[in-house]
Amino acid sequence: MAGKPIEFHEEAAAEYEAAFAWYFERSRLAASKFADELDEAIDQISHSPRRWPNHIRGTRKFLLTHFPFLVVYRDLPSSVQVVAIVHGHRRPGYWKERLAE
């Protein structure tokens, strides 16, 4: 069964790329594991977007297990929008202005 289509906010995509590059500079294996865990998170979110807890301003959050990141997303009528790929220990809520877009 196919899940809902996933759309990445442009800045969320940039956050993913920056985090992947940071891990890649230190360890290709760590970067690969980060990408795999994020892919699995996105797949789970796509199939059950209402499963994870409510967050700020109508968003939900999915915490990665092995990396200090969370996926902030909105469950829209026909898709899921990934709003941010947030490092868990930096600038909480910086991404809120994206919700107005």
Indicate the domain borders of the chain.
6-89
Stated pTM of the model: 0.89
Q: What is the pLDDT of residues 54-97, one digit of tens each?
A: 998 899 999 999 999 999 999 999 999 999 999 988 776 777 77
Query: Tokens standing for 19?
Result: 């985090």
Averaged pLDDT of the chain: 93
**Residue 69 contacts residue 39 (beta carbons within 8 Å):** no
Query: Tokens standing for 50?
Result: 């209402």
The CATH number assigned to the domain with range 6-89 reads 3.30.2310.20
> Which residues neighbour 12 within 8 Å (Cβ) at sequence distance 6 or greater?
72, 82, 83, 84, 85, 95, 98
